[in-house]
Chain A
Amino acid sequence: MSNDTIVSVEPAPSALLDSASRARPYRMKRYPFLALVLLAPLILFGLFGPQLNLHNPAAIDPANALLPPAFAGGDWQYALGTDHMGRDILSRVIDGARSSLIVALFGVALAGMIGTLVGMMAGFFGGRTDEVLMRLVDIQLAIPPILLAVLLAAVIGGGLTTVVATLTITFWSTYARIVRGETLSLMQRDFIALARVAGASRSRIMFRHVLPNLLSSVVVLATLQLGAAVGLEAALSFLGLGIQPPESAWGLMIADGRLYMSQAWWIPTLPGLAIVMTVMGANMLGDWTRDWLDPGLRRL
């Protein structure tokens, strides 16, 4: 080899400096800023509501009825104005946030647990179990949520329980379907076969191998459903099936304030805005969570 004629010797390329990189300086959204900003009211008010309230949200004060919000000519004492009964709207929005938060979290959590369990069993056991469970899903999907709420309210009256029950029964099927699909595809993977080869029992495989790998899908679904839950809760309260007076709920406020749209627009509009912000924020959080948990998407 030392006899080979060498034509030239070329020095190694020098290192490329970071400053010379042609990569665009765009950075991935590391944190869901906008989503959190939109959700901040819900979370803050939901957690610290009673402490923040200046007025009693249920206090009726006809003398101060229909006062406009501070930015539309009113007083800072009633920052978002008052409704037709003199109740401070800001306080009621804060109080309503509480209800919405509790209801949404409970409803989504319960729906998630039930749905995940059902979906996992359907996918894992297959056969008869799968058929029976999926028929249950089909049955549930055939029931309109509002009708369900009406029926429940007729039986147990309106209120928090009715809303949580409606949410749970309405939302579990989505989890079941998605989890079943994921379970089916996970069962094909080698590590499940090797767990059986190791001697693992079926319950161990279900809870130690399948479930942990489902969690990221379940979490994404849950964050996306939060928005839908808040929306459904608002609809139910609007119809009088949900949170009952004197408790506050955003949907209830819209229902009450409908009649005053032309003379005191703030009464239905401001709670409506709260609902829109929350639902949007929840959806954005859901999107961000999905991107964050999915290592497949390449980002700068």
Chain B
Amino acid sequence: MSAGTIPLLDVRGLRVYVHTKDGTVRAVDGASFKIERGEALGLVGESGSGKSMTCQAIMQIEPRPAAVIEEGEVLLDGEDLLKKSARDMQRVRGNRIGMILQDPLSSLNPVMTIGDQLIEALRLSDKTSKRSQLRQQAIVALERVGIAKADQRVHAYPFEFSGGMRQRVAAAIAIARYPDLLIADEPTSALDVTTQHRFLELLKDLKRERGMSLLLVTHDLGVVAGTCDRVAVMYGGRVVEIGKLEQILRQPRHPYTRALLKAVPQFHGRRLERLFQISGEPPNNREDLPGCHFAPRCSEVDQRCDAEYPPTVHYDDASCTACWRLVPEDET
């Protein structure tokens, strides 16, 4: 990371609240992280962590009117996306930021051929080229994501593809206009483990090819382990730890990250009589707890944790954590 270059994506203090008739859900409550050019950041969290809502807020496709971006900045190359007009934001989507969602079945329009869907995506930034030229580009895009016989398959409908292939088509559409950033929200959760592996390899290839940045959202640390350079862990609407992949996996700082790593049943290593378990359940973000959101389940909790939310300790530009245990004495 050279000093003086600004990150591609800089999310600062993002708050997204969902207002329902049963009260307000603080889906994202002050999330901050950065992604450099060409970097893959894994955003890890469970239900209630706010990871999906964060992605939606970046793209400004959060479910309105219930979900409201209350506060924060989303800087793309220094420009705040949240201040853009709807039309300008439309130009950003697809061109500068692409997105893949979890369910390949509903990501694609069942009554259009995949060729037409790709052409439609390409058409949005290219109003002049002829349809036949765009079809050529569509074929190239399909080849890039590893779909064989692309020139024939371009006329096929989504139902003719398997789940993994559909997800590849969704990826082709997302990167058709060579965006700077690709957001993938649980892209492999609906796929088989072998397909999952291949798809993650594809994402890595695409990233390498063009120096594209990747924001990979998942609940599965294993998915992140093979693909990402850095990891941001979210819990209860906030970012609790960010760090390089190695550091997160080997020396996690935040108690939640540590517990998560221990609680996931591991294939390798000793067979356990009993698995490590974390007590309690992830929060529902309806109550405004003054203290740390993980405190009720944390094995290292002390009285500060329930009283006040911990400050964020920054170690360098790439890692930080929010835990009272790690705040140096002179700062408290």
Contacts and interface: CB of A to CB of B under 8 A. Distances in A.
A7 B65 contact: no
Interface string B5-34: 000000001010111110010000110000
Contact of A9 (B66, B68, B311, B317): B311
Interface in A1-49: 1, 4-13, 15-16, 20-24, 26, 28, 30
A16 B65 contact: no
Contacts of B19: 21, 23, 300
Interface size class of B (residues with CB under 8 A): 35 or more
Interface of A is mostly: loop
Contacts of B308: 12
A16 B313 contact: no
Given A4-B315, A6-B315, A298-B63, A12 B310 contact: yes
A128 interface: no
Contact of B69 (A6, A20, A22): A22
B70 interface: yes
A15 B328 CA distance: 24
Contact of B66 (A5, A6, A7, A298): A298
Given A20-B70, A21-B70, A24-B65, A9 B21 contact: no
A21 B66 contact: no
Nearest to A4: B315
A299 interface: yes
A5 B315 contact: yes
Contact of A7 (B18, B29, B67, B315): B315
B71 interface: yes
A300 B315 contact: no
Nearest to A10: B312
Contact of B17 (A4, A23, A24): A23
Contacts, number: 76
A300 B312 contact: no
Nearest to B317: A7
Given A22-B69, A24-B65, A13 B13 contact: yes
B311 A10 contact: yes
A13 B71 CA distance: 11
A16 B285 CA distance: 14
Contacts of B225: none
Interface core residue of B19, B317, B322 (most chain A CB under 10 Å): B19
A22 B65 CA distance: 11
A28 B288 CA distance: 23
A168 to B, nearest CB: 37
B51 to A, nearest CB: 18
Contacts of A12: 30, 308-312, 322
Contacts of A15: 288
Interface string B306-332: 001111111111001010001110010
Counting chain B CB atoms within 10 Å of each CB, the highest count among A5, A6, A26 belongs to A6
B69 A11 contact: no
Contacts of B63: 298
B168 interface: no
Q: Which 4 A-B pairs have the closest CB atoms?
A: A13-B30, A12-B309, A298-B66, A10-B312
Given A21-B68, A298-B66, 4 more contacts: A7-B315, A13-B13, A22-B70, A300-B65
